[in-house]
A and B are shown apart, each in its own frame.
Chain A
Amino acid sequence: MTTNVADEKVLISVNGLKKKFDGMENHALNGVSTEIRQGEVVFVVGPSGSGKSTFLRCLNLLEEPTDGTILFEGVDITDKKNDINLHRRKIGMVFQQFNLFPHMTVMRNLTIAPMKLLGLSKEEAEKNASELLERVGLANRADAYPNQLSGGQKQRIAIVRALCMKPDVMLFDEPTSALDPEMVGEVLNVMRELAEDNMTMVVVTHEMAFAKEVATRILFMADGQIVEENPPEEFFNNPKSDRLKSFLSKII
């Protein structure tokens, strides 16, 4: 699989990324460089405080890096001259806390961005949204408000909301961490299907079994750096660094 991926074009290229939060002594990110190619499913794992969420949030500039560059489809999005809003349309994001818009129905949550930003008509936007809702098994909840949904349903809707913009890459920031255990499966199923459909994904998660099953590559982060990155087989069976060995020994 990796040999195939190596031929695909580079979607995101991160170079020397650093991030220091105001008032913090250490860098949250301390020189992260990697490439994400079309169709890759990259999982980012590591102990808490390792900078994995910060890394993910830098990829669409929800966090502004202190130093380094991020090329998205060849354009340096850290350059202020480039309109980040245009690039964010192609970078879907799913949050730990779902962040659905509570004052809108599910359908409105799904159609507002495509209508306002991509200029789709209401009919087109709703048709797309309905098809995607059907795929995640929530076609009957189009008229519900977010507060009427379970956590798992909310997260599936949040994934669909990002998909409605037809993004080139999807970022997942601990998408199952806020869910009751019995709802984790339904969200992972949707993500698994996305991966099978060749969506490029970057996933920050603690779900190791899922990472092992779905990832094409796993990044292990610690202290704001990528310590090791490998395909899952190699990653779990043959860890090289002591940091990763001790991390794996604790979680399995």
Chain B
Amino acid sequence: MSDWLKEFANRFYLNFIKDERWHYITRGLRTTALITVFALILGVALGFIVAIIRSAHDKTGKLKIANFICRVYLTVIRGTPVVVQLLIIYYGIFASVAIEKMIVAVIAFGVNSGAYVAEIVRSGIMSIDKGQLEAGRSLGFSYAQTMIYIIIPQAFKNVLPALGNELIVLLKETSVSGYIAMEDLTKGGDIIRSRTFDAMMPLLAVAAIYLTVVILLEFLVGRLERRLRNSDH
């Protein structure tokens, strides 16, 4: 037993303490967190815009061209792997310009996530009784005002669990950032592995950190859900 413990301590020292290798983990976590947060903001913004255009088109038959563009966006983004999208954006679209890799990653993951958020939000908008739209319009609100003040806040509450799910997926998907040589959490663990030739310890540490962050996110989303549920009795 004590031999096992000694071995564990040795490996821990080698993988994390020696040469301050834990920096790979902390810097990686920081990168992962930054990509996730900004991609989330971009994704939610894009998703809401696309969802509103699509549901406005479904209701009124207007915005034909915008709706067509949205549908192409949804099909292409949801129909191809995020790694391929990331590589195309990095090596293809931004190949000739010097651009921060962080920005490339945020755009790639944000645009990708936006497609999923769009359909989540659209399902939320569709779940709201049409009487709500009629009540808003009958008071004199425009379609856009009715959306903003009346429909979206209710739709958001209904789709919060699904949005929380998308956030978790997004966080974990950023683990492919290493493909464009970004040192995110996963890449950090992998770098340690390549230095120490010990796979289990750094990768288990990385897995544990993802898990911890996800549990934290679940907790926060759950709290937000309960707060928004105030009006249901």
Contact A95 B134 (CB under 8 A): yes
B233 at the interface (CB under 8 A from A): yes
B149 at the interface (CB under 8 A from A): yes
B-side contacts of A86, CB under 8 Å: 140
Contact of A113 among B129, B139, B153 (CB under 8 A): B139
Residue of B nearest to A100 (CB): B135
Contact of A145 among B139, B150, B157, B233 (CB under 8 A): B233
Contact of A102 among B134, B138, B154 (CB under 8 A): B154
Give CA–CA (A171, B130) in the complex, Å.
18
Residue of B nearest to A165 (CB): B139
1/0 per position for B119-163, CB-CB distance to A under 8 A? Answer: 000000000010110111111111001000110011001000000
Give CA–CA (A101, B136) in the complex, Å.
9
Residue of B nearest to A97 (CB): B131
B232 at the interface (CB under 8 A from A): yes
Give CA–CA (A97, B133) in the complex, Å.
13
Which of A62, A89, A102, A145 is most buried by chain B, counting CB atoms within 10 A of its CB?
A102
| In the complex with contacts A99-B131, A102-B154, A103-B154, A89-B233 CB distance below 8 A | no
Contact A99 B230 (CB under 8 A): no
B231 at the interface (CB under 8 A from A): yes
A187 at the interface (CB under 8 A from B): no
Contact A95 B139 (CB under 8 A): no
Contact B138 A93 (CB under 8 A): yes
Give CA–CA (A60, B231) in the complex, Å.
30
Contact of A116 among B131, B149, B157, B232 (CB under 8 A): B149
> How many residue pairs bridge A and B at CB < 8 Å?
67
**Distance in Å from the Cβ of B143 to the closest Cβ of chain A?**
9
Residue of B nearest to A104 (CB): B231
Q: Which of A2-53 contact B (CB under 8 A)?
A: none
**Distance in Å from the Cβ of A181 to the closest Cβ of chain B?**
22
Give CA–CA (A88, B149) in the complex, Å.
17
A66 at the interface (CB under 8 A from B): no
Residue of A nearest to B156 (CB): A103
Give CA–CA (A103, B140) in the complex, Å.
19
Contact B140 A145 (CB under 8 A): no
Contact A60 B142 (CB under 8 A): no
Contact A113 B131 (CB under 8 A): no
Give CA–CA (A86, B138) in the complex, Å.
10
Contact B138 A62 (CB under 8 A): yes
A-side contacts of B139, CB under 8 Å: 88-89, 113, 117, 161-162, 165
Residue of B nearest to A102 (CB): B231
Residue of A nearest to B139 (CB): A113
**Distance in Å from the Cβ of A72 to the closest Cβ of chain B?**
13
Number of interface residues of B (CB under 8 A): 22
Number of interface residues of A (CB under 8 A): 28
B-side contacts of A116, CB under 8 Å: 141, 145, 149
Give CA–CA (A183, B142) in the complex, Å.
33
Residue of A nearest to B143 (CB): A85
Contact B140 A89 (CB under 8 A): yes
Contact B134 A62 (CB under 8 A): yes
Give CA–CA (A117, B146) in the complex, Å.
12
Give CA–CA (A62, B137) in the complex, Å.
8
Besides A85-B137, A103-B153, 11 other CB < 8 A contacts?
A: A85-B142, A88-B139, A95-B131, A99-B129, A99-B135, A101-B150, A104-B231, A113-B140, A117-B140, A147-B232, A162-B139
A198 at the interface (CB under 8 A from B): no
Give CA–CA (A241, B129) in the complex, Å.
39
Contact B233 A148 (CB under 8 A): yes
Give CA–CA (A162, B139) in the complex, Å.
7
1/0 per position for A132-166, CB-CB distance to B under 8 A? Answer: 00000000000001111000000000000110010
B-side contacts of A215, CB under 8 Å: none
Selected A-B contacts with CB under 8 Å, 23 pairs: A60-B138, A62-B137, A88-B139, A89-B139, A93-B135, A97-B131, A99-B129, A99-B134, A99-B135, A100-B135, A101-B132, A101-B154, A102-B232, A103-B157, A103-B231, A112-B149, A113-B141, A116-B141, A116-B145, A145-B230, A145-B232, A146-B231, A147-B231
A219 at the interface (CB under 8 A from B): no
**Distance in Å from the Cβ of A250 to the closest Cβ of chain B?**
30
| In the complex with contacts A116-B149, A145-B231, A101-B135 CB distance below 8 A | yes
Give me the 5 closest cross-chain CB pairs, A-B, nearest first: A89-B140, A99-B135, A99-B131, A93-B138, A113-B139
